[in-house]
Structure 1
Amino acid sequence: MKRLLVFGIPIVLILGLVFWRLSAEKAAAQEAASQQGSRKNAVVSADMAEAAPATLSTTLEAVGTVQSPYKVDLSPRTAGRIDFLEVREGDHVQVGQVVVRINPSDLEGAALQQQAAVAEARAKLAEAQISKSSNDVAIQGNVRQQQANLETAKAELLQAKQTYEAQVQSAQSNVVDATAKVKAAQSDIRNNQAKVASAQADADNAKLKYERLERLLKSGYVAAQNVDDARADYQVAEKGVDVAEAQLDASRSALDSANAQLDSAKQQLEIAKKKADVDVQTAAARVNQAQAALDIAKANRSGSAAYSENLAALEASVKSAEAQLAQAQAKQADTVLKSSIEGTVTARNADPGSMASPGSAVVTIQYLKWLFVTASLPIENADAVHIGQEVKLSFDAFPGRTWIGKISQVNPAADPQSRQFSFQVRLDNPDGAIRPGMYAKANIIISRVQAAVAVPKGAVDDSSGKPQVKVVDSEGVVSTRAVEIGQSDATLTEIRSGLKVGEKVVTLSYSPLKDGSKIRLPKQGEGKTK
């Protein structure tokens, strides 16, 4: 009995613990099932969007700086005190408008001194020119006479050359005619030689025929009349040979006559050349003689070397004084600073009464009616950027506003350090809101796609490699649907299949969604459901 108690009590305790554990796990399972059912039937808050047609734009983003196309820093070339400066930052100026005046007192005195120096130099030069001797008149007359002689000699030389050419051409023409006659005579000789050979062949043939018939007559094979006819043909053929030889002799005589004419024409050509050449040389000698006489007359015109050098020195003095006067007047004009462009004052660095120095800008003027935005992109994007391309610009100073510009210049070379190329966007600025130096965000539109169905990018889940969306029906029940996607831009994704226009999709959920989950639909007048 004692042993039964020793072994029975532990067994009962163990069985009780097992029963308690099983009961506790069953209760926990029932509670978890109850909680899961409650969550399944709970309404989830989420953001939704409606599938709709949209235009998707592919863009490149860049950051740039606003620059003025025309910027002028007005600074004097001569140091001095500022007497006049009335414009301030923001004032508009026109082309040619006087903006700054530097005190010109010292420069005006220098200009007056140089004017006096110019007057004195001109007076000395005029006095030297008036003192020319009366011999100058005779010298000038001699020069004109020798110039006339030279022109006459040149005219005679020209006439001699023209006569030379005419005579030579005439003689050459006779040579050509004679040569043509020689060739014609040679051609006649060849033709008559051919005729003699033909007539001789005819005579030889007639002779053979005559002799053969004569032998046949002796044998009684032919009639005597045939022999007589053959003898007559033979005699006629011999006469033809005599006529052809007479024509050949006549052709040879004509060739001798043509050769004689050719020799005579060549001799006349040489005589004409020699005579005309002598005439040209004689005329050329007269030209040289007249030129020498003219040179002597001109040398006498200059007078003494000392007088010429003195006159040249006085002329140089006048030019030097005039140059110094022009320089002084230019410095005086430099005291008035005018705007070379139409624009707006963007910087004023001095006040009236202060000293201005060369190289230091007193006023900066910039053109603001239209501006450049200069930006850069990696060289890999060079093919996507071209002149005339539309660019959307935004500025931190104007949140929510955008401007549209067009690319006006693309740098064909890239920076070797950054491996980027720069480009400029022209931006109209009629109200002057944009200012040089501002930073701009540029979105370059490189392509546009008209999507029949598009949803926000956040609605598409492609983490598993198969794009899908959470579709919400009219009762707010969620179902997962596979879709085929196309292109995307910064905010939207194209749905090519799997979704229709008007269907709602979840873009953001604050709790995990499964098929069958229910979403609170927006009430009438509300926006997106959360």
Structure 2
Amino acid sequence: MNSLRNILGASRALQVTACVVLTALLTGCSVPQFGGGQATPAPFAATPYAPGGQVTAAESQAEATPVLSAEAPAASNQAQASDQALDEAAAPENAGADQVAVQAAVAGAGMADTVYTAEIVAKTRIVVVAEVGGRVLSVEPEVGDFVYAGDLLAEVDSAVLEAQRAQALAGLQAAQAQLDLALDQSAPEEADLEAAQAAVNAAAAAYNRALEGATEEDRRAALAQLKQAEAAVTVAQAAYNRVKGNPLIGAMPESLQLQQATLAVEAAQAQYDKVLKGATNDVISGAYAQLAGARAQLERLEKGVEDAQIRALEAQISQAEAALYLSQLQLDKARITAPADGIVTSLALTEGAMTAPGSVVAQLLSPENEVVVMVEEALLPEIEIGDSAAIRVDAYPDRTFAGEIVRIAPELDPATRTVAVTIRPDDPERALAPGMFAVVEIETN
């Protein structure tokens, strides 16, 4: 407003000068020199009119008085009226339109101040929504609280989500175990290869014997086992005969020895008969199956696990990891946190209530406020980002908040031929609140 006062002072001086010149021309007096000089009559000044054609001494004295003294009171009154009108135009309660601009050039200074009316608005308004559904376990803040980014706003029951995460973790562990096993098989130990080769050799020998039948040596061995079994039966029978008159013969060891010796003779006789007859088809088929299995095991060890199988198992690992990540992400969403710093303006949840994905949880206003004014097209060359501004609100009538232009819209409103200019107040104490009516004075060059 200091600039406006300077403008008014210059305007008064121009008004007084114009009044003096006009009066001098009408009355025939010379223009008085400012600074205390006396006015002198003009050479051809007209005589003021007086009734009866007489001029009184008072009138004659008045004619010699400088015009400035007679006109100064009127000029002063006019200046005071202009000052009052200007103050009323700047007052917020008389702002009939959304934007009121008053411009005045200051003589010799090349500066101007432009006054606008606007409303304080928050830089951003954040709507927080729930991303998972469930029963609300807790609601932390209250309306009006200031929260920081990451602060807990509400928590939703996560029992189901925790179970899903545990399932995903188990799937990952199983896939990892399969991959580890395949990698171990892809590089077998030397001892495993030797054991597999020995198994193949033994199975091949058994198969060949089955094909060739029993040798003379096999027949002699089978006959020797049969003779030995028969001798054991003879000995056991003699021992049994010595005690067979005993009423408790069934419980005596001689009876059990005779039974075992008899079974051994029968088994030896069957083996001897088999050797004499040669190998049957069933024996040959069984020997061949054992040989094929031993060879397959050796080939698997020598070849290892194929690369395609390794890649397939690695893909299963990736899928299991992604499933675990998604389950953890859903579990984290059960804790609804503030996405940025702000003031809580509303809460839509209560403890114990059910919420669904997408439902509104709370609304936050950013701690930074702004003022948006519509500046005339003609003033665009006179302003730029970084220019200063002064902001006043009714809530603090004796305080002026400094501001700075932070944004100028890239296009004009075609209806009003104005452009939106955003001003950010310097308000670290957060005294200004969204919705306050403000008078903004922009300093232009």
Q: TM-score when scaled to structure 1?
A: 0.40
Greater RCO, 1 or 2 (C-alpha within 8 Å, sep 6+)? 1
Specify which structure has the higher proportion of strand: 1
